[in-house]
Structure 1
Amino acid sequence: MAISLSNVKYLDIALPVRSIDYPAMQDGPLYRIMFNAILRDEERENIVKWHTVSMERAFYSGTYLCKACVVDGTPLGFAGWALDNTTICSKPDQPKKSSKEGNYLPDTLDITAWLKASKALMNERKRILSNLNNVLRLTFMSVHTEHRNQGVGSFMMKWICQEADRHNRPIYVLASPAGIPLYSKFDFETVGQVDTGKGVITSMLRKSR
């Protein structure tokens, strides 16, 4: 299967969020913390819209996004990263301000549990990154549920590692259980864990080269 990698522009974020990242995130501990497993279609749609807006804001704030596509342009993989403790250049297609305003939250979101888990993960991230510079922090990586175990994740990860190595950057990720085999394959080492109560999220670091 021929796959190509390209940057995701601000106006194109909605499709990979809906078709790839939202279905993939439902398998992870954070989703189980944030939302009830039994949701109506309307509730799921609200979560997708909220997640899309959150991703757009992350892009506006400096998160870089890429997608892995087949020849016809259909996205199979989606990944995002930020450069911590370093200067981030603005993107050419970045708008002057977010097109989506407001602080809408889905009614089904367990805000208390979400904030508690987010604080624990943020503290773990600070613990590891406080003494590191020029870090590429992988914020997420997801593969279309129908195309897992077909090399899509490895294709994206290989490119990200090459870019990190080119700039002598370590890579850091807070990995869900499903992501650990992939990151381990690319020489990430476990440096900590956060027990969310709905599953363990593993703190992993790949040293600069």
Structure 2
Amino acid sequence: MAPYLETVKSFADVPITDAGVDTLAFLEAAQGVVGLFDLLGSAAFTPVQNDLKGNIAKVRARYDAAPEQSSTLELLVVNEKGEKKRTATEGLMWLLRGLSFTCKALQAAQANPTEELSAAFSKSYEATLKKFHNFVVKGIFSTSTRSLHLDPAGGPPVPADKLNEELNRWLTALDNIVKRLEDFYEKGGHNKGF
């Protein structure tokens, strides 16, 4: 996994200024999460990947339409606030939820390496996404995580300490960005209506 992490934008390298989280760098790092699911080798992640891709596309479309008003995620949301349809605001909110789910699961897997990966993802789902899903989605997710397995892509083994160091750096930065933006959404009432 470390070679993969070295090929994608790390959340630790996403610039954060007083104005907020850099939109393009964040989207690039989020795209890396989509590819990470390919490494896990399970069809259980197809719905998660599709959701992440769709929400990345919504935020990207807003950025492309108004780059100066969308240079940071916070500016993007604030500048979309007066519009009837806040597609990027909602897309970012769901993207953050999906990233939080992924982050919590991988942090749990890091903290307890003897636990099955499916258990880490199931617990993370309970803590992050379950409250937002209807009965049907909950059932689909529960069924898919039971079949989850790790299917490494091959190649030379990566020293565990290097893998853990890079993954922990990546996850810590992701967790900080998610918490920052969740707080921004809550304080600004940007999550209302979704």
Bin of the TM-score, shorter chain as denominator length? under 0.3
Identify the structure with the greater strand proportion: 1
Q: TM-score, structure 1 length as denominator?
A: 0.25
The answer to which structure has the higher helix fraction is 2
Greater RCO, CA 8 A, separation 6+: 2
TM-score, with length taken from structure 2: 0.27
